[in-house]
């Protein structure tokens, strides 16, 4: 049985005319992490956050004039639930018909409603349209893997056995690929991302890492679960001493999702940054 069948996910729904937190669909992380071999209630082996970029947010001022802003949401990886993206889009679109005192009132209301859905504090930042011109595209950090020659034998499920160490000794390097693709477990639609791996430890074989990332191409999982699986597989098969993995997914429905998982408790994604692929 599809676990999302009783919900509105993947079905036609009416757009809310006003803000309604009831449309938010929290999805427990515990079940997805159990699939990754993580025991319920055990301390997480990683730190991290999910950074959401929201490009379709508008409300009415006290006179009824529309105001537009971009929003960034930071949800801790330790939160009990993630929030399904279509439900978040529905929720944010409810502000289009809502009169709000100012941007601070919007920020506070979003933070309050999303904290209830996620089961943890959600940090909300707004960037109003007058300063959008400050934003620019950024290049992914580190060395690109995409031009390496590989002959993939599988596009799913993910193949961690492909990972292997190189003949070089210990290194600290940053690698990235824009070739990552997985699929939404609700709708089956493709999700595209730039994946960045920053690690220290025994050198990884770069072509093998690329082949491993490509093996997600027909895999159905949420963005957050994909990044956690990559982190766990690299720690297990690469014997990394330090490891940060993050993915910047392309925008769908006015939202992009950027999960980060790291051995470093202080690791965070920079604010108001996106890659060309986004």
Residue of 50, 54, 113, 184 marked active site: 184
- Is the dihedral angle over the CA atoms 162, 168, 170, 175 positive or is it negative? negative
CA trace torsion 96, 101, 102, 108 (10° rounding): -80
CA dihedral 124, 128, 131, 133 (to 10 degrees): 90
The CA–CA distances, whole Å, from 204 to 2, 8, 197, 208 equal 37, 43, 11, 8
Active site residue 184: yes
Contact criterion met (CB below 8 Å) for 67 and 58: yes
The active-site residue out of 50, 54, 113, 191 is 191
Task: Write phi, then psi, for 52 (nearest 5 degrees).
Answer: -105, 130
Active site residues: 184, 191
């Amino acid at each position: 049985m599809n676990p999302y069948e009783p919900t509105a996910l993947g079905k036609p729904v009416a757009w809310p005319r006003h803000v309604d937190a009831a449309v938010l669909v929290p999805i427990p992380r515990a079940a997805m992490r159990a699939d990754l071999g993580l025991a319920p209630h055990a301390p997480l082996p990683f730190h991290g956050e999910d950074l959401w970029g929201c490009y379709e947010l508008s409300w009415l001022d006290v006179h009824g004039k529309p105001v537009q802003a971009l929003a960034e949401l930071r949800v801790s990886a330790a939160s009990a639930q993630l929030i399904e993206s279509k439900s978040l889009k529905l929720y944010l679109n409810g502000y289009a018909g809502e009169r709000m005192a100012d941007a601070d009132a919007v920020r506070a209301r979003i933070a309050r409603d999303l904290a209830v859905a996620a089961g943890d504090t959600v940090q909300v930042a707004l960037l109003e349209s007058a300063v959008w011109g400050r934003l620019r595209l950024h290049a992914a950090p580190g060395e690109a893997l995409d031009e390496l020659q590989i002959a993939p034998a599988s596009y799913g499920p993910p193949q961690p056995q492909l990972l292997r160490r190189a003949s070089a000794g210990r290194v600290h390097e940053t690698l990235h690929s824009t070739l990552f693709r997985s699929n939404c477990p609700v709708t089956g639609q493709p999700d595209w991302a730039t994946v960045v791996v920053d690690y220290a430890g025994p050198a990884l074989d770069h072509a093998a890492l690329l082949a491993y990332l490509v093996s997600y191409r027909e895999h159905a999982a949420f963005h957050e679960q994909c990044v956690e699986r990559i982190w766990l597989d690299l720690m297990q098969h690469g014997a990394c001493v330090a490891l940060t993995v993050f993915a910047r997914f392309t925008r769908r429905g006015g939202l992009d999702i950027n999960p980060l998982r790291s051995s470093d408790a202080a690791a965070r994604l920079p604010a108001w940054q996106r890659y060309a692929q986004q």
